Amino acid sequence: MALKIDHVTKKYQNFTAVNQLSFTIEKGEIFGLIGQNGAGKTTTFRMILDLQETTEGNISWNDIPINKVNRDVLGYLPEERGIFPSMTVEDQLYFFGVLRGRGKKDLKQDVDYWIERFELVDKRKAKAETLSKGNQQKVQLIASFIHQPEFLILDEPFSGLDPVNRELLMDAILYLKEKGTTILFSSHQMANVEELCDHLCILKRGVSLFTGSLKDLKEQYGKKKLSIRTDLTEKELHTLEGVTNVKKTRDGYTLTLEDETYGKQLFEQISRGQYMDKFSMDYLTLDEIFKDLVGGIVV
């Protein structure tokens, strides 16, 4: 394992921000840390970065206590903007690279590569304050890993991005993973977490509600989502045993079931022995599971 969080607690006087949190991240893995605002994600990031001490428990990187690890091993993209408004894109990247231990000549190839990859060639001499929010976010992301860290924390990296730029960043994150970078990733957009992460931790008020693989989490819930096309009305579908929720879609209905064992009898009841061109059972999305776990309603 690369990063180990071992029964970590963080208290501020009478308030417990993180409570007995434990998880491990393997080398080269993208691990998701998700939760509502105030769940303890940022506090956890700060303890990993050794910006705050733990009240209890230990954090280590490759079995070395985190407070003894060379800081250049780490990279961090905060949710808040952290670049200099009056500095050009190019100077910005050189500055952060040199600050984290790389020589300016050594940086040139990487700076040129990422400026081109993120479609910032015509902006390289522009001041950050003149850029769109999306381009500022791209610059900030490059600055977080231009020094080639082994471990990278990304807090809401897709904030403010349009679909095209989101895809650019998604590809870049997967590229870094392929190169061996270990990534801890947080986002309120569960589709991004689902697309990027194999393992995750779901936090609520500083406590882990689930830690493990996305596959295991979905299998715990089972195939409770049923998509159908039928002549039955929404009211009629609501009356069927095992159905907890009915949602009308553009081309049919999506039903939420108590559990997947109701699938066979529902097929028989809904089809009434006739051909059905759509009857598909699937796992809940991470977004639906997250809402259920943190106390919301699955819809």
| pLDDT tens per residue, range 222-254 | 999 999 999 999 999 999 999 999 999 998 999
How many other β-carbons are positioned within 10 Å of the β-carbon of residue 171?
11
pLDDT at 299: 38
| Joined tokens for residue 204 | 């609520």
Could you tell me what percent of the chain has a pLDDT over 70? 98
pLDDT at 79: 85
Mean pLDDT of 253-272: 94
- Per domain, the residue ranges of the chain are 3-212, 223-282
Could you tell me what percent of the chain has a pLDDT over 90? 90
Mean pLDDT of 157-172: 90
Class at the top of the CATH hierarchy for domain 3-212: alpha beta
Residue 188 has pLDDT above 80, yes or no: yes
Taking all residues of the chain, what is their mean pLDDT, rounded to a whole number?
93
Residues 70-87: pLDDT tens digits?
A: 989 999 999 887 889 999
SS3 244: strand
- Reported as half-sphere exposure (CB side, CA atoms, 13 A), residue 261 has a value of 1
Query: What are the helix (H) ranges across the chain?
Result: 41-48, 89-99, 104-117, 133-145, 163-178, 190-196, 214-221, 234-238, 263-271, 286-293
Closest CA to 120 of 132, 105, 107, 108: 132
Contact 284, 221 (CB under 8 A): yes
252-257 and 243-249 strand pairing: antiparallel
How many other β-carbons are positioned within 10 Å of the β-carbon of residue 17?
21
Mean pLDDT of 75-104: 92
The pTM of this model reads 0.89
Mean pLDDT of 141-159: 94
Per-residue pLDDT band at 296 (split at 50, 70, 90): low
